Amino acid sequence: MTTVVIVGAGPTGLTLACGLARQGVAVRVIERAAEFHRGSRGKTLNPRSLEVLADLGLRERLVAAGRTHLPFRKYFAGEFVNETEPFAGASPSGDVPYPASLWLPQTRVERLLRERLAEFGVTVELATELVDFTQNGAGVEIRLADGGRFSAEYLVACDGGRSTVRKLLGIPFVGDGDPEPVMVCGDVEVEGLDPGAWHQWFGPQGVFMLCPFEGSRRWQLQASPETDADGRAVAPSLESFQRLAALHTGRPDLRLTDATWLSTWRVNVRVAERYRQGRVLLAGDCAHVHPTAGGLGMNTGIQDAWNLAWKLGYVLRGLAAPALLDTYQEERLPIAAWTLDVTTAGMTAVTEGIGTPGIGVEAGRVGDLTGLSLGYRWSRLATDRLDGPLRAGDRAPDGVCPGPDGEPGRLFDRFAGDHFTLLGFGPSTRPALTELPGHVRPVPLDDPDGDTRRAYGITGDALVLVRPDHHIALTAPATGREDVLGYLAALR
């Protein structure tokens, strides 16, 4: 029997599938579409998502596929105003290896994740549509559109804002939206424009933006929709895109060709009332949808999957009780609420600034573009036995950490995988690092320069237990071995 079936092969579903397959969980990914998406859609991975995907083994492939710096070139009423770059001057530091977002289309992210998933022996099943399911205490029975049936222990819905699974469960999708499109989108080729910047035309007539992609002739177009004589939005098309380009840029030499992924975007701000119902869980856009400000959509879904993957894997591997799955909603639902709030405020700021020279998408900047400050201090999985600036629930920073043989290394190298990591700061912690359960990796830290101590806020000898998703589980004194073992035992 399949252990976990994932419905939907976007970034959320693929990240979850990789995280489970790496643990040896038998996973099946089904996708209703007959072919993989070709449209760019999301276009940035923030630093926290880069940490996640690097842990899954995709660091080099992602860096080769995207770009880390992209200037925003802004115009008003067709005239150049200024150029800015949100991550100008950002460089890696001891505790933050990825200080800037990576620009690349969602299609490339999905392709790289599918390649990684295939390395674990799993391929996406296209043209495979779930139409119904039933569940009981032992598992879930899935029925497909072609009449096929199969069973799984758990089902995870990653099937987007119009989720079939969520609707079948009857889980309310709380919030509101605008039935009229506020933006048209598409992928085009562009002649006559410098591909070294994201070009943003704002003005009294609305917005027109063209964003290039590294190593490609394709650009992503986003614009206020063209309207007809009755004020209704015109369906996106190459002809409409070309008219919008002329209207906003005033440049007759700017030529658009080969329009694909023609789409409209409507404002929807909604969140699922709950993320789990029995053996069925929701993740990504299936659980929450929000405005595009800050580029958080794909990133929030990836980080949902990262939170859920280790927990579901631990339950299935017998390392934790099923109650651990309740902490998925406990931790991720407040993050979704924060995301809805900040992206709504950001979209309002952009909309209100359209008629102001120099305003661009930066007006919609959210409180944390990086995702590095988001944590779970409120979670039942966060336990502090020490006081300090870094608390249980926070993201665990990177830092210098020699390998087992003394070779140069980083903490993130030691975190990589599906184990807990017990950091022992100082020599008096050494007894606590011995005879640990097999899913806990001990890492002694002498840290002569003190950089890692400063990143963790550790002043004396201490223990820090780090979860498989790189969040701090427990802080304890150097003699707190029993605290560590008690924490791990409580998961069962």
For residues 329 and 467, membership in a common domain is answered with: no
Q: Are residue 390 and residue 478 in the same domain, yes or no?
A: yes
**Domain CATH number, residue 349:** 3.50.50.60
Residues 19 and 110 in one domain: yes
CATH code for the domain in which residue 475 is found:
3.40.30.10
Q: Are residues 157 and 296 in the same domain?
A: yes
Q: What is the CATH number of the domain that holds 210?
A: 3.30.9.10
* Beta strand 130-136 pairing with 139-144: antiparallel
Q: Is residue 234 part of a domain?
A: yes
Shared domain check, 236 and 330: no
Strands in 192-302 per DSSP E:
198-203, 206-212, 218-223, 255-265, 268-272, 276-277, 280-282, 288-289
Dihedral-angle region of residue 392 (phi above 0 means left; psi in -120 to 50 means alpha; beta otherwise): beta
Same domain, 220 and 258: yes
Residue 110 lies in a domain: yes
Enter the DSSP assignment of 367: S
| Residue range of the domain that includes 252 | 67-95+179-266
* CA angle (371 as vertex; 366, 375 as ends), nearest 5: 115
Q: Which among 43, 42, 55, 44 has a CA at the least distance from the CA of 15? A: 55
Q: How many structural domains comprise the chain?
A: 3
Q: Could you say which of 320, 336, 364 is where a domain stops?
A: 364
Indicate whether 37 and 120 sit together in one domain: yes
pLDDT tens digits for 57-91?
999 999 999 999 899 999 998 899 999 998 888 88
Grade residue 349 by pLDDT with cuts at 50, 70 and 90: confident
- pLDDT value of position 362: 64
Last residue in a domain, options 266, 289, 309:
266
350-372 average pLDDT score:
71
Does the residue 11 lie in any domain? yes
- Is the Cβ–Cβ distance between 173 and 286 less than 8 Å? no
Q: Would residue 221 count as lying in a domain?
A: yes
Residues 15 and 164 in one domain: yes
| From 69-83, 152-166, 471-485, the region with the lowest mean pLDDT | 69-83
For residue 481, CA distances in Å to 396, 404, 408, 412 come to: 20, 21, 27, 23
Tell me: do 58 and 149 sit in the same domain.
yes
Better-scored residue on pLDDT, 338 or 110: 110
* Structure confidence at residue 486 (pLDDT): 97
**In this structure, are 351 and 427 located in the same domain?**
no
Is 225 inside a domain boundary?
Answer: yes
Same domain, 398 and 483: yes
pLDDT tens digit sequence for 426-463? 999 999 999 999 999 999 998 777 889 999 999 899 99
**pLDDT at residue 405 greater than cutoff 80:** no
Length in residues, the chain: 492
Mean pLDDT of 103-109: 95
Given 301, 332, 364, which residue is the final one in a domain?
A: 364
Q: Is residue 376 part of a domain?
A: no
Question: How far is C-alpha 385 from the chain's CA centre?
Answer: 31
Average pLDDT over the chain, rounded to an integer:
93
Whether residue 41 is found in the same domain as residue 110: yes
Question: Is position 371 within any domain?
Answer: no
